[in-house]
Amino acid sequence: MTSLPADSALNESTAASSAALAQTPRTRPVRLGDRGSHDVAQIHAIIDEAPICHVGFVDDAIKGHGTPSPMVIPTVPWRVGDELMIHGASSSRMIRRLQEGGEACITLSLIDGWVLARSAFHHSVNYRSVMLFGRPRLVSEEAEKRAALDALMEKIEPGRSAKVRAPNVQELKATSVLAFPIAEASAKRRSGPPADDPEDMAHPVWAGVVPLRLTAGEPEQDLAQTAG
C-alpha cells in the first residue's frame, strides 16, 4: 500500500529499518524469545499485509451479563504513518467500549504454512504476527477522518479512493475511526523446515512445509453492472 500522511511518519517508517520499539512487560517474550522482534519496519510490514486483525478488549457492560468479559472482534486493520487504524459502526460494541477509553490488545496473524514434522510434538505453523497494546484516539476531525478512510480504500485496491463515491456527512457520522499508536507492540515469526529431534530424523514419514497463502481468485463483477 498505501497513502501515508505527508510528514515525518513516512520518513521514519521507510528510512530506519533498524528502528526498534522499546520492550515492555507486555511485549517481552515469555518463551521462544528468538522468534520475537520489536523492529518497526517488520511490524509495519505485517500490518500493511494483514487483511484482518483481532481486537481484544474487556467488556464490562454487556446487558444481562453480570461480570466483565473478554471479547475478540475481527476487523480490517490499516496503517497511517505510525498508527494502526480500525473502524466500525459508531453504534457497535467494540467501538463504544474502546471510545470510552478501553484498552485493547490487537493481534494480526499471517499464516505462511503448516510445518509437518516427523514427531507429533514438533508440528508447527509458519506465521508472521504482530501483537499491539494500547488505547485508541478517536479520529474526529473531518479532513483527517476522510484521509484515513481513503487510506483504507487504498489498502483494499490502490487507486480506489479516487474512484468510489466518497462518504457523505451521514455516513461519516455513522462510522468511527480509531487510531492506535504503534508503540507498545512486537512481531513474532516462525519460518523454515520442521525442527525434529536428531533421533527422529530417520522416522519414515514425509516431513517439510506445506506453504499457505491467502490468494485472490477471479473477481466476480456485480451482476447489476455486467447486465447493464
Kindly tell me which residue out of 15, 16, 49, 89 binds a second copy, with binding defined by CB under 8 A: 89
Kindly tell me which residue out of 6, 140, 220, 227 binds a second copy, with binding defined by CB under 8 A: 220
Single-letter amino acid, residue 110: L
Residue 33 touching a second copy (CB under 8 A): no
Helix (H) or strand (E) holding 197: none
| Nearest CA-CA partner of 161 in 153, 170, 173, 169 | 153
What would the grid cell of residue 149 be?
Answer: 478512510
Kindly tell me which residue out of 35, 54, 189, 190 binds a second copy, with binding defined by CB under 8 A: 54
Residue 4 touching a second copy (CB under 8 A): no
Question: Helix 40-49 vs helix 8-15: angle between axes, to the nearest 10 degrees?
Answer: 100
Nearest distance in Å: CB 9, a second copy: 23
Kindly tell me which residue out of 7, 18, 34, 215 binds a second copy, with binding defined by CB under 8 A: 215
User: Contact 152/167 with Cβ under 8 angstroms?
Assistant: no
Cα–Cα distance, 82 to 40 (Å, whole number): 9
Single out the segment in contact with a second copy by CB under 8 A; choices: 6-14, 23-31, 35-43, 137-145: 23-31
Cα–Cα distance, 162 to 164 (Å, whole number): 6
Range 92-111, binding a second copy (CB under 8 A): 92-93, 103-107, 109, 111
Single-letter amino acid, residue 65: H
Residue 2 touching a second copy (CB under 8 A): no
Single-letter amino acid, residue 212: L
Between 73 and 84, whose beta carbon lies closer to a second copy? Answer: 73
Kindly tell me which residue out of 85, 131, 178, 179 binds a second copy, with binding defined by CB under 8 A: 131
Residue 47 touching a second copy (CB under 8 A): no
Residues 6+ apart with CB under 8 A from 82: 9, 12, 13, 181, 182, 183
Between 17 and 193, whose beta carbon lies closer to a second copy? Answer: 193
Residue 142 touching a second copy (CB under 8 A): no
Kindly tell me which residue out of 14, 157, 158, 191 binds a second copy, with binding defined by CB under 8 A: 157
Kindly tell me which residue out of 101, 143, 169, 221 binds a second copy, with binding defined by CB under 8 A: 221
Residue whose C-alpha cell is 478501553: 102
Nearest distance in Å: CB 92, a second copy: 6
Cα–Cα distance, 55 to 107 (Å, whole number): 7
Between 8 and 211, whose beta carbon lies closer to a second copy? Answer: 211
Residue whose C-alpha cell is 501483537: 131
